[in-house]
Amino acid sequence: MRYLLNCVYVLLVTAVSPMLLYRRWTTGRYREGWSEKLWGRIEPRNSEAPCVWLHAVSVGEVLQLESIVKGWRERFPDWDIAISTTTQTGMQVAKKTYPDAHLFYCPLDFSWAVRNTLKRLKPSCVVLVELELWPNLILEVDRAGIPLLLINGRLGEKSYRGYRRIRPLVASLMRRLAVVTAQNEEYGERFHKLGVPKNRLHVAGSIKFDRLSTDRNSPATRQLRENFGIKPDAPILMAGSTGEPEEKIILSTWISLRQQFPQLQLLIAPRHQERFEEVAELIQRAGFHAVRRSKLGEKPRKSMKQIPPVYLLDTLGELSACWGLADIAFVGGSLNQRGGQNMMEPAGYGAALLFGPNTWNFADVVEDLKQARACRIVSNQHELITQIGELLRSPQSAQRLGRAAQNYVLSKQGATTLTLNEIEKTLHLTQPETIRPAA
């Protein structure tokens, strides 16, 4: 199978390489890690200590691992921790979040690249986050006799239908997983139907909730408020993880609301790094001063001092803390076709939570929030203006909405402990000498 897969991958890489080169030239993406991705030439690990390899695709998964990494270090302080990611932004955040971990780009699913990575890293176990079913990766790890685990397992309806069409292939991969911890019963049942044996499947909840802060007075959030220069009593509307055309919608919404609520401040945090300049220009074309997080050390021009500011978070790794500034939070990716972005972070801070109807990426969370009356859903700009206006006119309603969201988050915490317990039992880590680095 590996030879067939390698041939297919070579054809795919050849086909998409012109597009990758174009995006590399125009956006700056896809410039790093090609030796690691194509050939597995990662920096060798010069240690005989046992090592866990944690794979997180991009920024979201990288940040999710915080509670797992912290818990692992507390339980198994003698282990090395290695973290791989796929994207350039994921690597930037990983370097900032885990400076003492062994960091590298995950190899593409070529058998030789995976083998070289395993030789250089010598992991004692490999842990995938959410759902990363790359056949050669799984097969090569299995051939090397290294335990392979999937944690925080998530399997949406669309992905499930796709995998079900090739169930014989998927089932052979699923049976190689030593343990799967699923986020909920529904996902767990889907993993089982695709081939994961019941005795290796556990519902632990989502580790996303365990890293969520609920403290608006945390040092990171306080620092952001001070750096931006936002007054403590100024109500803040924050739009986070936004994509086109959501910045234009939220900006127009704020302009409309300012007529009645002149003290209302706007903070925008675009989802993708390559759009920071575009959004800054959008703000300036609308006649406002874009106060950019990345340029707070620069003195504004005199002509800018009288122009109303719009705060722009154009740095990586600070979104979580920034949500702590929001009194009213609009979560992006939900008025376009992205399928929604993580609404649990603003919920943890108790912000009054709004998002659009397109949230299939977080369907289970949205359903829970709706049941708890902890969110409001808007379908267009008119509804957004109406709902935010109502919340501003009735601070008690906004506080009730925020408290319900925060209580939901608090009720869901604890998945990290359950996940680490299952890992410990599966790998018999109560007896560390039974797990050795792979040859």
Instruction: Please identify every residue annotated as catalytic.
Output: 61
| Tokens at 7, concatenated | 């041939």
How many residues are given for the chain?
439
| Tokens at 112, concatenated | 């030789």
Closest CA to 138 of 87, 177, 168: 177
Closest CA to 347 of 404, 405, 411: 405
Which neighbouring-strand residues pair with 85? Answer: 105
Residue ranges of the alpha helices (H) in 229-358? 246-258, 276-285, 319-322, 344-348
Cα–Cα distance measured from residue 186 to residue 352, given in angstroms and rounded to the nearest whole number: 28
- Could you give the maximum distance between any two Cα atoms of the chain, in Å? 68
Cα torsion through 181, 45, 2, 162, rounded to 10:
30
DSSP 3-state helix, strand, coil percentages of the chain (rounded to 5)? 50, 15, 35
Looking at this protein, which amino acid is placed at residue 206?
Answer: S
Looking at this protein, which amino acid is placed at residue 244?
Answer: E
| Tokens at 89, concatenated | 């932004």
| Tokens at 410, concatenated | 């608090």
Cα–Cα distance measured from residue 19 to residue 48, given in angstroms and rounded to the nearest whole number: 42
3-state SS assignment for residue 114: helix
Q: Roughly what angle, to the nearest 10 degrees, separates helices 276-285 and 246-258? A: 30
Closest CA to 230 of 174, 290, 309: 309
| Tokens at 296, concatenated | 């707070």
| Tokens at 53, concatenated | 């390899």
Neighbour count for residue 220 (Cβ, 10 Å): 14
